[in-house]
A = this chain, B = another copy of it.
Amino acid sequence: MASQTEENYLKSLFNLANEAGEVNISELAQQMQVSMPTVNSMVKTLQKNGWLIYEKYKPVTLTSEGKKEAALVIRKHRLTEMFLVKKMGFGWEEVHEIAEQIEHIHSPKFFERMDEMMGHPTVDPHGSPIPDKMGRVQEVSYFTLSKCKTGQIVNLAALTNSSTEFLEFLNSRDLRLGIELQVISIEPYDQSMVVSFEGHPSETLSEKVCDRLLVRLVG
């Protein structure tokens, strides 16, 4: 069984994996906030456990067992976040820290029960998909608001970043998942957008913000 530390590494590996599934030691070290030698020894441990493939001086790759293990931890994390919001009244900006800890609880029943109580949610409070019990992640095809053209109407579906600061910024503008956004105009100089949405006939969003909002076409 994966230790708490190993679970955290697996999650980071899963999230950092690119199309080729490769992750560099330095990326992982930065993500995990530890030194490269620490990562070096941990990837050897994870390899011994059969969760990744490692060759000296090469980027590492999760095995299918590693991916499944990682996805199941992510499942626990996202179910917890959703439970905290839907059943315990927390704001979406408060739940990450707590879920970071509860994701390591060993009790299938506990997460089963959360899942049941919420009616088997498919996404977490930030719009990220919740892997199923087999560790399969449903593919979703959103695009960033910054890719939209003037006049388009879209649905805010997820975020590319869920930092507390960003979530608090969104709270301050009443930007919540599910709202319909219409692109009123785009400033050519800095790509900032003027958008309208329920109760906000005109709100300017910087490119930085638009890049972090994932939307889908209304319909």
Whether a CB of chain B sits under 8 angstroms from the CB of A101 is: yes
Residue A101 contacts which of B88, B89, B90, B105 (CB distance < 8 angstroms)? Answer: B105
In the complex, per-residue mask of A74-100: 1 if CB is within 8 Å of any chain B CB, else 0: 000000000010011110001001100
Residues of B within 8 A of A109 (CB): 90, 94, 98
Instruction: Let me know if A98 and B105 touch, CB within 8 A.
Output: yes
Residues of B within 8 A of A87 (CB): 87
Q: What is the size, in residues, of chain A's interface with B at 8 Å between Cβ atoms?
A: 18
Instruction: Let me know if A107 and B113 touch, CB within 8 A.
Output: no
Distance to closest chain B CB from A72 (angstroms) = 17
Residues of B within 8 A of A97 (CB): 107
Q: Which residue of B lies closest to A84 (CB)?
A: B110
Instruction: Let me know if B117 and A106 touch, CB within 8 A.
Output: no
Q: CA A166 – CA B205 in complex, angstroms?
A: 61
Q: CA A109 – CA B91 in complex, angstroms?
A: 12
Residues of B within 8 A of A90 (CB): 109, 113
Distance to closest chain B CB from A75 (angstroms) = 17
Q: Which residue of B lies closest to A110 (CB)?
A: B98
Q: CA A117 – CA B106 in complex, angstroms?
A: 24
Q: CA A113 – CA B87 in complex, angstroms?
A: 10
Instruction: Let me know if B101 and A113 touch, CB within 8 A.
Output: no
Q: CA A105 – CA B84 in complex, angstroms?
A: 14
Distance to closest chain B CB from A114 (angstroms) = 8
Contacts A88-B114, A97-B107, A101-B105 known; 16 new A-B pairs at CB < 8 A: A84-B110, A87-B87, A88-B110, A88-B113, A88-B117, A90-B109, A90-B113, A94-B109, A98-B105, A98-B107, A98-B109, A98-B110, A101-B106, A101-B107, A102-B102, A102-B105
8 closest residue pairs by CB, A with B: A98-B107, A101-B105, A88-B113, A98-B110, A102-B105, A89-B113, A101-B106, A88-B117
Q: What are 6 sample pairs from A and B whose C-beta atoms fall under 8 A apart?
A: A84-B110, A88-B114, A88-B117, A98-B105, A101-B105, A101-B107
